[in-house]
Structure 1
Amino acid sequence: MDTLASTTLSALPDLWDRIFGSQPDPDLWVVIATLVAALAVVVPHGVWRISRNTVTIAHEGGHGLVALLTGRTLTGIRLHSDTSGLTVSRGKPYGLGMILTAAAGYTAPPLLGLGGAALLAAGHITLLLWLATAMLLVMLVMIRNAYGVLTVFLTGGTFLLVSWLAGPQVQAAFAYAVVWFLLVGGVRPAFELQAKRSRGGAGDSDADQLSRLTHVPAGLWLFFFHVVSLCSLMGGGRWLLRL
């Protein structure tokens, strides 16, 4: 028993260094290749219909996280096969907490990408993967439909396998691909929402809910989504490309 405890204690510093230590930056060609890969799953419409599920996870996760941080009671998250989602929380249907919760959806993917780019620029590749895995596991507890459970479970399982079993080069390529995807993929949903609203659709979108909550035109909230996503892409891209 003492031997087991001693072995466990001696392994803790190694695990700490593995998670919180820094790793060397990948070659520039790897960074560019992962950018191209991210564009390849965001730009083509057919592929985007599948890969958009991951952006929806970040979108609904943003709603849920901010709801909790502002004191609301998160009751559940649903993810649907058409890449839509729904986050339900209890609390006052007005006020700052509700406004921040509604604003967190479209801004969450690009801001997560920006945060990920900051971690990668600091060399914390493994830490990024472990943080993403932890967030997905926490989110899994709040999922309330089978498709959502499957989607988050597969996504979290992929992160866990890569962070635990893959070598440094594979981890780096995977981490950069994920961050590029969040940065690039975080731009497209706001343009899709703009197109739907121009055709008279999406009357209950996040922008329209925010308009009712704040009496600020929905178009200005849509502009805000564009600013956050494009600025995150430019700032995160500079960090990833070491400019």
Structure 2
Amino acid sequence: MATLVFLHAHPDDEATSTGGTMALAHDLGHRVVWICCTDGSQGTRTGDADESVSQVRRREARASAEILGVDRLVFLEHQDSGMHGWASNNDPEAFMNVDPQVVGADVAGILDEEDADVLVGYDWHGNYGHPDHIMVHKVMNAAADQAARRPRVLQATMNRDAMRDGYDPELGGIDPDAPGDDGNPFGTPESELAWKVNVNETVMRKRAALAAHESQEDAKQLLAIPDEFFALGFRHEYFIEEGRGPMVEAWPFD
């Protein structure tokens, strides 16, 4: 069995991008570690004076981790940068402004503690250009380089071609060819992907993990999708692995 470390930017990113794979890995007997890089403080505010946004999101992250079968959850507690162009981007403490080598060393320490076999992060533009997602990509590479035993590195992404096939402008949804947060199209062309993971067995656990983040508007929008359409739309998760291709539908961690 392998130890898989998932590096995510915010609470709820684990559910939307790799929740099915994390749950399936747990079911197959692998050790699942989730590192959450930011405090999520730029997320939706609840109006509850007793808890800050970051406190709420930490609590929700723990609930999601339990649903997905995460064996260890680590909070790095960097400050959420918010979306591209927000005033919060200018804070020197924001995650987007960190030194990726320094944070990479912190992540490498966890990789060493776990003797990790695999590190999962994001593609070069974080799927849709969120500055914290882009930083996760940089930290992922820095951590892999600094680990005592270099893990396999997979990059979670979206299949732009599959998204395009399913997009109907009359019905709404995300146009994958529209500019994302950084001006680039969403996800990655299928020709650049290595792995298509069928998570049909765990897709409703992925949905339940997303529901654990009940305070967040983004989560609520996805949860408004009826169960049967959610299962169809989210039954596959996609990964880049340098040196591997063309894309195959298979479990990457045998």
Assess same fold via TM > 0.5. no
- Structure 2 length-normalised TM: 0.29
Larger Rg: 1
Normalising by structure 1, report the TM-score.
0.30
Between 1 and 2, higher relative CO (CA 8 Å, sep ≥ 6) is seen in: 1
